[in-house]
Amino acid sequence: MIIIIIIIIIIIIIIIIIIIILTDKTVPFNRPDITFINKNTKKNFLTDIAVPNTHNLAKTITDKQNKCQELANEICVMWKQNTAKVIPLVISSTGVIPKSLP
């Protein structure tokens, strides 16, 4: 039983290490939650998910957009992509959905 738990922990650690997007320049936020890549149109979508309290909803949206924008710019240059769009998915803990949700 303990061996199975240790193996599962090792697999999770390996998966977390693989998810980091490696860039030429040091980017402080290099792990978006979901990354979609359309190779035909050369478009990237970086999706970052958050579940804040209702009163922190607007602040969380701007924070998510600002922190991933530098990574999006770096991805465009490194991977020779046309666009890289940051999509913050923010839904409050009480279920409030902002009007700006794409």
Whether residue 99 lies inside any domain: the answer is: no
- The total number of structural domains that make up the chain: 1
**Above pLDDT 70, what percent of the chain?**
81
Whether residue 66 lies inside any domain: the answer is: yes
pLDDT at residue 11 is higher than 80? no
Structural domain containing residue 32: 2-90
Whether residue 102 lies inside any domain: the answer is: no
pLDDT at residue 85 is higher than 70? yes
3-state secondary structure of 59: helix
| Average pLDDT value over all residues in the chain | 81
pLDDT of residue 83: 92
How far from 12 is each of 16, 18, 48, 51, CA to CA, in Å?
6, 10, 20, 23
